[in-house]
Structure 1
C-alpha cells in the first residue's frame, strides 16, 4: 500500500527502524496485550518505514493495509483544523464569545457545591467562554471519565462523553448548558468535551453537518476516501474489532467490527471523537500538517495559521504539569504545552524522552497516536484498537525507537 523509500536516502537507519516491528511483536502482539498494530514513519513527507502485525478480528481475520480504525480523539485535530478554516474566512474569531454562535452558553455558571444525590447549588457567574478556550481545553468543561467531581458525574449521567446515537447537537448543548462549569474559562486546563462543542459551532457557522463540512473542505481535497463518522456496509468488513484492557486478563471485546455501532450513521457527529478511518487517510492528513498546511496542491490552512495552532497557548508559557487538573488526557505533562488542538513540546529535556522543540501530537482513546516533528521533518501514525490509551507506554516507546533510527548520513 505504501511506497517505502530507502531510509538511508533520508538520513535514517533501516535496521534500527526494523526494531519497531520486532519490539511491538515481542512486547505487545505475542503477549496478547494488543490485538494488532500498524505504524508508518515518514521523513520529509516520504514513508521510510511501515509495519503491520496481528489480527483484525477475533475470528482470526488477518490485518490488512486498508483496515479501518476508530480514531477517537484523533478526530480533534481534524475539528480544530476545520474551525481554523472558518477563522481564516473571518466567519468567526478566536476571541469571540462562544455564546455568539451557541447562545445556550450565555448564562453558564461555575460549580459552587452540590450535585450527586442533591441538586447543584446556585452557580457563580462565569467569565465569558471564548472559542480559544474551547480549542485549548481551558473552557471549564470536562469529561465524565475523569471521575473527579460531581460535575464529572453529571456528564456520566447524561452520557455526554459518548453521545453518538442518543441526541443531536442541539440536545447535547442544552444538556451541557444545564451543568455547572468546573472552573472559570481560561483559568485552568482540563481535558474535556470542548472539541465536541467546537464541532457544533462549525455546524452552526457553516450550515452543514460536521461530516459534510469535513468531506468538502478537508477529506476530498486531501484524497481521504475512507474517513467518516460511520462505516458503510460495503466497507464494514474492513473495520477492526475494538478491545478493552482487563487487569490480570486478556483484553475483552467491546465493539465487534462486524456488528459495530459505526455501521449506523451517527445522530451526533462528535468533533471530539467520532471519526473512523484508515492509516493511509490519516497519513495524508498528518503529511499536510508536516507540510505547513498543504498537500499535493491542496491548501487546507495557511502556514501562519498552523504556526499559531502549534504554539503554546498556556498562560505565561507554562506547561501542563503546572496547568492541568486532568486525571487523564492524551498528553504527557512535563515539558509539554498546549496549542489550538495539539499538545506541543516546549522543553524537550523535561519530557524525558527524545523530542524536538515545537513537535506536536495527539492520540486517541483506542491507543492510536500521531506526532509531527517540524525540526527533523519526521511524522508518525500508529494504529491499534485497545481502550484506554494510558495502559501501556506505547507512545514513549515508539518515539524512542524512531529517534534512535536517526542517522543523518545521506546516501
Structure 2
C-alpha cells in the first residue's frame, strides 16, 4: 500500500487449508493476527490519552488493582508502580509464559493456563523484572486493553470498531470471529520435524476467547489491517482522510521508549539472546539471517546474529550483533535501513503464526505478509516476506 492508500500489489498463494483444493487462498482471506493486534490496541489506548482519560506515566493500580498489586513469585513487592507506558512498551515486568521458561515452569507448577487458552485468568502471573528496569516481551498490552475496557465501559473490540475500524473503512477486522466469516478463516498449520505441514486446531486465544485480547486477539484481512497501521505513515490520518490520532501522538509513539530503562540499568536491555524476544515455539532464525545478510535492523524482534556471521553491509556490530531495534509504543522501530529497501524510522512487528507487517513513513510504503503456520520464524514464510518486500521497493524505485 502506498501513502495515498492505493494498493501497489496484492497476491495470494496456496490454499486456506492444506489438502483442501476447494479453498484457494484469497486476497481477502481472514487470518488470526496474534501480536499484530498490539499496534491496534496501542492506537485505541493512545486515543484515551488524547482524551485525558489516561495518563501514560501514572500508576495503573487504581484501575487495574491486579497489576498494581503484582509481586514476584517469591512474594517480593516491586520498587515502583507499573504505569500505562510500562504496559505498552514491555517494560512492566510482566511476561508471557510461552516466552519465558521460568515463568512457564511457574505456570505449570501452579496449575495456571497459558495466555493462548483464551481465559483472562492466564494473565494473573508474577513479575519477572522490576517495572521500568528491563524489556521483556509480555502481557502488558493485554492489561492496557483491559484498562481501556474498565475506563470506557466498552470492550476493546467495541471501542475499536467505533473509533478505529469503522472510521478507516477497515471492515474485515474484528476481535471475535463472526459466524458468517468462519468460512473465510484460514486454517492453522504446524510444520513437523520432518518439515511437512499439517492442519491443527486454532488456539482459543483468537478463536473463542472469553475477552478481547489486546496482545493478540484480532482476526482480519491484510488490507483491513494495513488501513489501520497506515496512520503511522500519515501522522495519524487514514488513507481515507479520517483522523484517528493527533500528529504529536503518532510522533511520540515512534520514539525510542527505552531511554529511562537504559539510565537505570546502565546498559541496553536489548543486548540479550533470542530467547528473551521470541516464543519457545520458534525455529532457529540464524539461517534466515545469514541468507539475507540482515543488518542491525533485523526483520523481527529477537533475531540475533550468530557469532562470526556477517552482520550485513554496515559491519559495525561485531560478532555478537544486537537482538532488537528500539521499541516504540507497541511496535519496533527500524534503526538502520534494511537491504530490502526499508528505510530507517520504519515501524514493524509480527504475529505468532508467521504474520509480518511494516510501515515505512519515509518511502510511503507499507507491506504485510500473513501465513497461518507454526512455529514462528519459519524460513518458508520469513524469506518470501523479505524477498517480496525487496521486489516492491525495487518496483517503486523504478
Alignment of 1:180-219 (within 5 A): 180-219=126-165
TM-score by length of 1: 0.77
Q: 1:327-382: per-residue Cα shift (whole Å, max 9, x none)?
A: 5165145361001101001234xx77653221100110011111011111111011
- State the shift of 1:384 in Å: 1.3
Mark the CA change 1:62 to 1:409 in structure 2 (over 3 Å): closer, same or farther: closer
SS in 2 for 1:49: coil
5+ unaligned residues in a row in structure 2: which ranges?
280-299, 304-321
Alignment of 1:150-165 (within 5 A): 151-155=103-107, 157-164=111-118
Mapped pair 1:47 → 2:1: no
Q: Which has the higher strand share?
A: 1
Mapped pair 1:336 → 2:307: no
What residue in structure 2 maps to residue 313 of structure 1?
257
Q: 1:252 aligns with which of 198, 219, 244?
A: 198
What residue in structure 1 maps to residue 171 of structure 2?
225
Mark the CA change 1:410 to 1:135 in structure 2 (over 3 Å): closer, same or farther: closer
Q: 1:177-225: per-residue Cα shift (whole Å, max 9, x none)?
A: xx43101011111111111111111101111111111111111111122
SS in 2 for 1:52: coil
Mark the CA change 1:103 to 1:405 in structure 2 (over 3 Å): closer, same or farther: closer
Q: 1:65 aligns with which of 10, 14, 27?
A: 27
Mark the CA change 1:98 to 1:205 in structure 2 (over 3 Å): closer, same or farther: same
What residue in structure 1 maps to residue 88 of structure 2?
135
TM-score by length of 2: 0.79
Distance 2:115 2:60 in 1: 20
Any conservation in 2 of the 1:136–1:313 contact (CA below 8 Å)? yes
Alignment of 1:12-411 (within 5 A): 41-42=1-2, 44-58=4-18, 59-60=20-21, 61-111=23-73, 121-149=74-102, 151-155=103-107, 157-164=111-118, 166-167=119-120, 171=121, 176=124, 179-255=125-201, 266-295=209-238, 296-315=240-259, 316=262, 321-322=270-271, 326-328=276-278, 331-332=301-302, 334=322, 336-348=325-337, 354-392=341-379, 394-395=381-382, 398-399=385-386, 401-403=388-390, 405-406=392-393
SS in 1 for 2:166: helix
Mark the CA change 1:297 to 1:406 in structure 2 (over 3 Å): closer, same or farther: closer
Any conservation in 2 of the 1:227–1:275 contact (CA below 8 Å)? yes
SS in 1 for 2:38: helix
Distance 1:185 1:56 in 2: 42
Q: Which has the higher contact order (CA 8 A, sep 6+)?
A: 1
5+ unaligned residues in a row in structure 1: which ranges?
1-40, 112-120
Root mean square deviation of aligned Cα: 2.8
Distance 2:200 2:163 in 1: 33
Q: 1:313-332: per-residue Cα shift (whole Å, max 9, x none)?
A: 11249766326771516514
Distance 1:279 1:370 in 2: 9
Any conservation in 2 of the 1:110–1:125 contact (CA below 8 Å)? yes
- Matched residue count: 348
Distance 1:125 1:337 in 2: 24
Distance 1:263 1:141 in 2: 21
Distance 1:409 1:280 in 2: 19
Distance 1:307 1:270 in 2: 25
